[in-house]
Amino acid sequence: MNVETAPRQPPNSLAARAQRGLERAFLALRPPHLLDEIDHPSILARVEADAGWTPRYAFMVLMSAGIAILGLLLSSPAVIIGAMLVSPLMGPIIGLGFAIAVFDWAQVRKSLLALAAGALLAVAFASLIVFLSPLTDRTSEIMARTRPSLFDLLVAIFSALAGGYATIRGRGETIVGVAIATALMPPLAVVGFGLATADWPVFTGALALFVTNFVAIALSATIMAKFYGFGSRLSPEQSRRQGWGILAVFLLLAIPLGVSLRQIAEETLFTRTVRDAILSEFGREVRIESLDPEFGTTPVEVRAVVLTPAFRADAVQKITQQLEGRVGMPFALSLHQVVLDQDPRTLRPALAEAGRPGPVELAAAALRDQLALATGATDITIDRDSRRALVRLPVGQTLPLAEVRNLERRLAARYPDWEVRLVPPFGPLPPLGFAAGSAEPDAEAVDTIGWTLARWRIPEVRVEGRAASDEPADLARARAEAVAEGLARSGVSATGDAALRDAASGALERERGRAALRTATVIAGA
């Protein structure tokens, strides 16, 4: 029995005419003799060689995933970019696109297996790092990769078109590989974060972004390969099926991503409208410290913190009235006003009108917020009765002791009705330097050490003096005793003595110079 295979559409059907029109438009963009410049067999061989699973590929996936998840946890774009520089994902995904273009199903399987194995390896390694890490909070960089939109699809398409061009023309593969990795490796690392923390909304959102980018990049690479003549031996029927299949997939991706983009645009407009209403009520001198709408609730809960020079009792009511009819969703506004540089006594009329807590309570709460903003500290004790504020600076703060002391002075001047005390984190005290041949210490530096010891509540210390190799040995004791006398004026009992000169002292002098031993060191707790 002879069976004649008919084409899918009649030659003059609307679909067939559309297909031919698209093909003519596509080919019209290609300059004459362009295909003569392309060595198709060698390019395919190179693509196939880079598309498979190798030990190097596995190692670079691990390194890239590790760097990416650390950058996401630290919310550091620079570290995330570093992960992109070592990511090897361009190879298999470009290989997949070219294999689809030429209908090489063996190469399709090879590329898919390499990409799937690399993705699983990256997710597992990122999950392990998050599981072992003390940092498990969502960061802005993590949340930015949990809501795919039409813009993400465009990023993937442009990256793939550039990747296909670079592969064919042999120009800039490394840089384009970074662009492709940008669309793939961070979402994979976020998938690992969601898996390790059992945060399923983050997990599913990042996975959707990865799948979207992966499919878009592969098919865009296919389009670029077709443009340069790969797959030209396919039959017209195969080319038609290929073209309509790619178009259908892009439409399936674009529709939900377009809906997501519209939702993101509506939320952005809502946030901007609320921000403008707050600024309209308070004036441009106010600073909006945070504005966090919670769009997953009904009504939308909007929490805002503003830094303002004066408290406004009816701000929430007026802002709500401004927003009525301007936003398309119900909302509830919670506004926290941090009053800057305002005498608490001037708050009484506003407080009485607003029915808020008394001036002492509000002033204490405002002072706590302001001290936290000024110092970055969270351990703050406010004594309303004695009007004292004790701020314990966090471990790891890098301000020199003199700057911490000056900050305390500025805060004390800003809030004259309060006694503000800053407590530096406990640690070794910096050595005090001396001029060559001198035993006269810097009085301000000694006073700063005394202030620090008073904040630490250390009443007794020991001082060790040193002298360089070209100075008299008794100068070391003289320096220690001079510092001890200065600390005594600050109420600290100190004993001074010369430090023993040993081999370590000589090594220190050779490494850092003689000035390194023209010092006196205060040893607390000894």
Check pLDDT > 80 for residue 389. Answer: yes
CA–chain centroid gap for 426, Å, is 29
What does pLDDT average to over the chain?
Answer: 78
Greater model confidence, 503 or 12: 503
At residue 279 the predicted structure's pLDDT band, cuts being 50, 70 and 90, is confident
What's the confidence (pLDDT) of residue 363?
A: 60
User: DSSP readout, 229-277?
Assistant: TTTTTS-HHHHHHHHHHHHHHHHHHHHHHHHHHHHHHHHHHHHHHHHHH
- Give whichever of 23-32, 99-108, 308-317, 377-386 has the largest mean pLDDT: 99-108
Upstream peptide bond of 359 is cis (omega within 30 degrees of 0):
no
What's the confidence (pLDDT) of residue 7?
A: 43
State the greatest distance between any 2 C-alpha atoms of the chain, in Å, as a whole number: 116
Contact 306, 281 (CB under 8 A): no
Rounded (10°) angle between helices 55-74 and 77-86 = 170
DSSP 462: E
At residue 5 the predicted structure's pLDDT band, cuts being 50, 70 and 90, is very low
What's the confidence (pLDDT) of residue 4?
A: 36
| pLDDT tens digits along 215-246 | 888 888 888 888 777 766 666 676 667 667 77
Rounded (10°) angle between helices 14-28 and 236-282 = 80
What's the confidence (pLDDT) of residue 67?
A: 92
At residue 250 the predicted structure's pLDDT band, cuts being 50, 70 and 90, is confident
What's the mean pLDDT in 338-351?
Answer: 50
What's the mean pLDDT in 13-32?
Answer: 55
What's the confidence (pLDDT) of residue 171?
A: 60
What's the confidence (pLDDT) of residue 182?
A: 67
Q: Residue type for 495, please? A: T
Check pLDDT > 90 for residue 63. Answer: yes
DSSP 472: -
| pLDDT tens digits along 142-181 | 888 887 777 777 887 887 788 777 777 766 555 556 666 6
Q: Residue type for 223, please? A: I
Check pLDDT > 90 for residue 192. Answer: yes
Contact 34, 230 (CB under 8 A): no
- Give whichever of 9-18, 209-218, 352-361 has the largest mean pLDDT: 209-218
What's the confidence (pLDDT) of residue 490?
A: 81
Check pLDDT > 80 for residue 33. Answer: no
Greater model confidence, 398 or 386: 386
> How many whole angstroms separate alpha carbon 281 and alpha carbon 420?
32
What's the confidence (pLDDT) of residue 35?
A: 59
What's the confidence (pLDDT) of residue 121?
A: 95
User: DSSP readout, 152-210?
Assistant: HHHHHHHHHHHHHHHHHHTS-HHHHHHHHHHHHHHHHHHHHHHHHHT-HHHHHHHHHHH
| pLDDT tens digits along 318-332 | 888 887 777 767 788
What's the confidence (pLDDT) of residue 61?
A: 92
Q: Which of 226-240, 336-350, 407-421, 499-513 comes out lowest in average pLDDT?
A: 336-350
What's the confidence (pLDDT) of residue 344?
A: 46
> How many whole angstroms separate alpha carbon 454 and alpha carbon 275?
45
